[in-house]
């Protein structure tokens, strides 16, 4: 009863504040929990308390953790709530466990509704600031990252923060060459679109945010997925969906065709073009048309997807037509679409070696994907990362490459079994990873491959974004001495997750409860160590801007600890041990020149991150921009690889407010042609780190074939005594 009275008091306070706002800033409707959500929360708690690797009671202490994570998830940069809001909400701090167990989510939803109110107020305030303009001759700074700062204490402080945010947005556009009239139009549209998105939030958004505050309070890699989010996760794992093969973007209230996927129904029909706007969707030739103008993009996409071989009819406003232009109806048959852009890919790079050359095959693997459902049904052609890589290795062998580099940068993991089978392509049959379950039982995941697909020079390129399954593979290659691990220290995630469909547990007829991804085990290297917290340390390290305290498993406050178990019986090849000193010497000699600009980039990035301030004075900003761009231009001229270094580091990692080569626009504000041009430029930009990794492989190939012939294949003395009883690790483990 006390909790309900507290929630009622909070709701009345919110209503009173809403009544005092300026006209034209009416709030979106108040969100309320659905019955299936309250039931799903309780069911999820039951599952997690019984089967999670780290058992944590749902008590008052957990309530406090959930409360803090919920606020952090809603307002990570502390730009919406003020301290008085936090004080008002603090009465709910100890009630969130009961909210789950007693199936009463009014408290969590009250927090979310206050967040919606504050976000709406801040964005409305931002729009109001555009009418007066700004003085860019003043000397003042803007702090763009506030996660570690205290909550602001008053509405006045919050207004001043947003004044600086808007001023910075304006200045970025001004520095990019826009005049004041165009800037006002761009920013007014931006903030208005943000207000519309706030108004489109649903109870599913509120519930998922709260549930993930709960699940991540247990352990960082435990998550709740609502029905739609679960569908998206499944698509990301199997790299396929049933639809029409059109990539859509939300532009000015329209679901706009951004790209047509080759071989998909939309491309084959020749009836849709990039820039076309979808204004209606019907489920068949004679079905009623649903108007989707102004809809959330995910809602429109859900209507367009459907069962294979079914018909969907699209009401299309052509790209070159005005708002009142003539529409056309496009009828398409939905088909299975494979997301080839996210699949493994190969390329061949040439390295000069004295008077000759070496050809290095590069396999880029963005994730360890697998179509679990197709595999379970016995589909012989199920989508699989290791199967795709095996095919690419066969093609590279036919192209007579001298070495193979597996590029796992920013590969966050995926199916554990794929990491095991991928390792088997290079080491054959034997143990790959150890797994410690909830009860402390240890099993060994082993490759069953009798034949090695590639036994020549091998490298694995990793960075701080390489996690989980990537670390299993890199660690196994390193432990066996099979290849060189090159790059940055990896993420440090040494845990195994599984997916549980809550509807299946309850035998629910309709998808409504969602799914849980939660940790069931910790994995260990075959040498007994673990990648947890410490990651995989490269044999040859590259400069890095990634600060371990800010990014990676070790930066997470409730990550599982590092530990060690007994090694399994395996035999390592030592063929590379004698080569490493020479490889390092050659590497060091090269990077004295090629990494100069990269090291300057890292120094600039580190300086900007530590400074955490940006000037709002136009003259100072122009001077800072000119100095940076002159330095980068000098790098382009004096070191041919610098452009790639800038692409891979600065453009991707600097805060978006840093003003470096900045057009001031958000992706949805650029033309589709500009977006495509930018995408093409990124693809064609030279990649300094990749080039150096290829050079290292070229050196290895030369050292193994000193007379310039085809690089000798390594015969690895691997005859591991695998644990025959354990077989593979969890085949559907997601890590």
pLDDT tens digits, 502-553: 998 887 677 689 999 999 999 999 999 999 999 999 999 999 887 777 889 9
Q: What is the pLDDT of residue 150?
A: 97
Q: What is the mean pLDDT of each run of 10 residues along the chain (735 residues)?
A: 45 44 61 96 96 93 97 98 97 97 98 98 97 95 94 97 98 96 97 95 97 97 95 94 96 94 96 96 96 96 97 96 90 96 96 87 98 93 96 97 97 97 96 95 94 95 97 97 96 96 83 92 96 96 84 92 94 81 94 84 84 95 88 64 42 40 85 83 84 96 66 40 32 37
Last residue of a domain, one of 296, 315, 338: 338
Out of 493, 600, 601, 687, the active site residue is 493
Last residue of a domain, one of 653, 672, 690: 690
Cα gap 713→359, rounded to integer Å: 15
Whether residue 654 sits in one domain with residue 599? yes
Q: What is the pLDDT of residue 2?
A: 45
Query: In sequence order, which residues have a C-beta less than 8 Å from that of residue 232 and are 6 or more positions away?
Result: none
Q: What are the phi and psi torsion angles at 146 (to 5°)?
A: -125, 15
Whether residue 633 sits in one domain with residue 486? no
State how many domains the chain has: 4
In a domain, 231, yes or no: no
**Sheet of strand 403-407: strand arrangement:** 345-353, 356-364, 403-407, 458-462, 484-487, 540-541
Q: What is the pLDDT of residue 299?
A: 96
Q: What is the pLDDT of residue 656?
A: 36
Whether residue 355 sits in one domain with residue 330? no
Active site residue 468: yes
Last residue of a domain, one of 313, 338, 363: 338
Query: In sequence order, which residues have a C-beta less than 8 Å from that of residue 185 and are 6 or more positions away?
Result: none
**Mean of the per-residue pLDDT values of the chain:** 88
In a domain, 468, yes or no: yes
Q: What is the pLDDT of residue 484?
A: 96
Whether residue 82 sits in one domain with residue 45? yes
Whether residue 125 sits in one domain with residue 20? yes
Whether residue 293 sits in one domain with residue 181? no
Out of 343, 468, 490, 615, the active site residue is 468
**Residue count of the chain:** 735
In a domain, 724, yes or no: no
Show the tokens assigned to 116: 């919606």
DSSP label at 566? P
Cα gap 330→683, rounded to integer Å: 32
Q: Is residue 4 exposed (0-12), middle (13-18) or buried (19+ Cβ within 10 Å)?
A: exposed
Where do we find the tokens 């001495």?
A: 481
In a domain, 714, yes or no: no
Name the residue among 274, 248, 234 with its Cα closest to residue 374: 234
Query: In sequence order, which residues have a C-beta less than 8 Å from that of residue 583 and are 6 or more positions away?
Result: 484, 540, 696, 699, 700, 703
The pTM score is: 0.89
The dihedral over CA atoms of 640, 641, 646, 649, expressed in degrees to the nearest 10, equals -170
In a domain, 465, yes or no: yes
Show the tokens assigned to 606: 């580190």
Cα gap 533→556, rounded to integer Å: 9
Cα gap 131→206, rounded to integer Å: 33
Distances (CA, A) of 217 to 61, 87, 106, 220, 558: 10, 21, 20, 7, 8
Whether residue 156 sits in one domain with residue 89? yes
Show the tokens assigned to 398: 């036919």
Contact 350, 358 (CB under 8 A): yes
Whether residue 107 sits in one domain with residue 186? yes
The parent domain of residue 684 ranges over 592-690
Contact 304, 330 (CB under 8 A): no
In a domain, 553, yes or no: yes
Whether residue 346 sits in one domain with residue 333? no
Whether residue 504 sits in one domain with residue 626? no
Contact 491, 471 (CB under 8 A): yes
Show the tokens assigned to 324: 């009142």
Whether residue 481 sits in one domain with residue 491? yes
Q: What are the phi and psi torsion angles at 414 (to 5°)?
A: 150, -130
Helix axes 155-175, 106-128, angle to 10 degrees: 50
Q: What is the pLDDT of residues 74-125, one digit of tens each?
A: 999 999 999 999 999 999 999 999 999 999 999 999 999 999 999 999 999 9
Contact 154, 190 (CB under 8 A): no
Out of 479, 539, 601, 687, the active site residue is 479
Active site residue 479: yes
Cα gap 420→389, rounded to integer Å: 13
Active site residue 725: no
In a domain, 721, yes or no: no
In a domain, 725, yes or no: no
Cα gap 381→64, rounded to integer Å: 48
Name the residue among 644, 658, 572 with its Cα closest to residue 613: 658
Show the tokens assigned to 233: 């996760």
Cα three-residue angle 219-223-224, rounded to 5 degrees: 140
Can you spell out the DSSP letters for 593-610? HHTHHHHHHHHHHHHHHH
Whether residue 674 sits in one domain with residue 560? no
Q: What is the pLDDT of residue 719?
A: 35
């Amino acid at each position: 009863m006390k909790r309900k009275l507290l929630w009622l008091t909070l709701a009345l306070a919110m209503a009173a504040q809403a009544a005092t706002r300026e006209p034209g800033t009416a709030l979106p409707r108040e969100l309320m929990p659905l019955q299936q959500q309250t039931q799903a929360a309780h069911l999820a708690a039951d599952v997690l308390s019984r089967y999670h690797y780290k058992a944590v009671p749902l008590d008052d202490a957990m309530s406090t953790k959930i409360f803090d994570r919920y606020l952090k998830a809603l307002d990570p940069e502390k730009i919406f709530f003020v301290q008085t809001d936090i004080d008002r909400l603090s009465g709910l701090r100890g009630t969130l466990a009961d909210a789950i167990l007693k199936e009463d989510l009014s408290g969590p939803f009250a927090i979310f509704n206050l967040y919606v109110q504050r976000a709406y107020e801040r964005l409305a305030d931002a729009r109001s600031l555009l009418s007066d303009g700004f003085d860019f001759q003043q000397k003042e700074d803007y702090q763009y990252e506030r996660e570690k700062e205290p909550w602001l204490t008053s509405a006045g402080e919050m207004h001043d923060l947003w004044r600086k945010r808007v001023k910075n947005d304006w200045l970025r556009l001004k520095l990019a060459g826009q005049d004041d009239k165009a800037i006002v139009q761009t920013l007014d549209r931006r903030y208005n679109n943000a207000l519309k998105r706030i108004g489109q939030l649903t109870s599913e958004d509120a519930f998922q945010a709260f549930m993930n505050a709960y699940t991540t309070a247990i352990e960082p890699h435990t998550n709740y997925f609502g029905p739609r989010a679960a569908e998206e996760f499944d698509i990301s794992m199997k790299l396929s969906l049933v639809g029409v093969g059109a990539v859509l973007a939300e532009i000015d209230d329209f679901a706009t065709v951004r790209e047509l996927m080759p071989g998909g129904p939309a491309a084959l029909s020749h009836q849709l073009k990039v820039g076309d706007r979808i204004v209606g969707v019907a489920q068949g030739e004679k079905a009623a048309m649903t108007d989707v103008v102004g809809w959330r993009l995910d809602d429109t996409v859900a209507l367009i997807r459907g069962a294979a071989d079914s018909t969907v009819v699209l009401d299309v406003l052509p790209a070159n037509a005005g708002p009142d232009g003539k529409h056309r109806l496009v009828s398409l048959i939905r088909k299975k679409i494979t997301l080839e852009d996210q699949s493994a890919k190969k390329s061949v790079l040439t390295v000069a070696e004295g008077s000759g050359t070496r050809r290095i095959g590069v396999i880029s693997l963005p994730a360890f994907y697998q179509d679990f459902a197709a595999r379970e049904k016995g589909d012989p052609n199920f989508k699989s990362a290791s199967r795709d890589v095996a095919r690419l290795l066969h093609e590279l062998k036919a192209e007579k490459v001298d070495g193979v580099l597996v590029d796992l940068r920013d590969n966050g993991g995926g199916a554990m079994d794929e990491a095991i089978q991928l390792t088997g392509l290079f080491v054959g049959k034997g143990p790959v990873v150890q797994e410690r379950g909830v009860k402390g039982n240890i099993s060994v995941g082993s490759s069953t491959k009798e034949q090695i697909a590639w036994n020549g020079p091998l490298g694995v390129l990793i960075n701080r974004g390489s996690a989980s399954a990537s670390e299993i593979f890199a660690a196994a290659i390193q432990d066996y001495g099979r290849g060189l691990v090159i790059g940055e220290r990896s993420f440090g995630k040494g845990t195994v997750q599984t997916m549980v469909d809550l509807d299946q547990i309850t035998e629910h007829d309709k998808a409504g409860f969602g799914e849980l991804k939660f940790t069931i085990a910790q994995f260990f290297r075959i040498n007994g160590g673990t990648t947890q917290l410490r990651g995989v340390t490269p044999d040859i390290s590259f400069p890095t801007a990634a600060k371990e305290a800010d990014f990676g498993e070790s930066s997470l406050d409730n990550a599982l600890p590092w530990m060690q178990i007994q090694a399994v019986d395996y035999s390592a090849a030592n063929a590379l041990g004698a080569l490493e000193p020479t490889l390092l010497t050659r590497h060091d000699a090269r990077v004295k020149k090629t990494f100069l600009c990269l090291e300057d980039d890292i120094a600039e990035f580190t300086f900007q991150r530590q400074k955490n301030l940006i000037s709002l004075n136009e003259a100072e900003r122009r001077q800072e921009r000119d100095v940076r761009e002159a330095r980068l231009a000098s790098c382009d001229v004096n070191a041919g690889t610098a452009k790639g270094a800038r692409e891979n580091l600065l453009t991707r990692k600097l805060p978006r407010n840093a003003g470096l080569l900045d057009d001031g626009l958000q992706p949805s504000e650029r033309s589709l042609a500009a977006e495509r041009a930018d995408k093409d430029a990124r693809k064609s930009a030279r990649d300094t780190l990749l080039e150096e990794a290829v050079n290292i492989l070229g050196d290895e190939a030369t050292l193994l074939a000193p007379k310039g012939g085809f690089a000798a294949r390594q015969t690895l003395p691997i005859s591991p005594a695998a644990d025959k009883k354990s077989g593979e690790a969890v085949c559907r483990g997601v890590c």
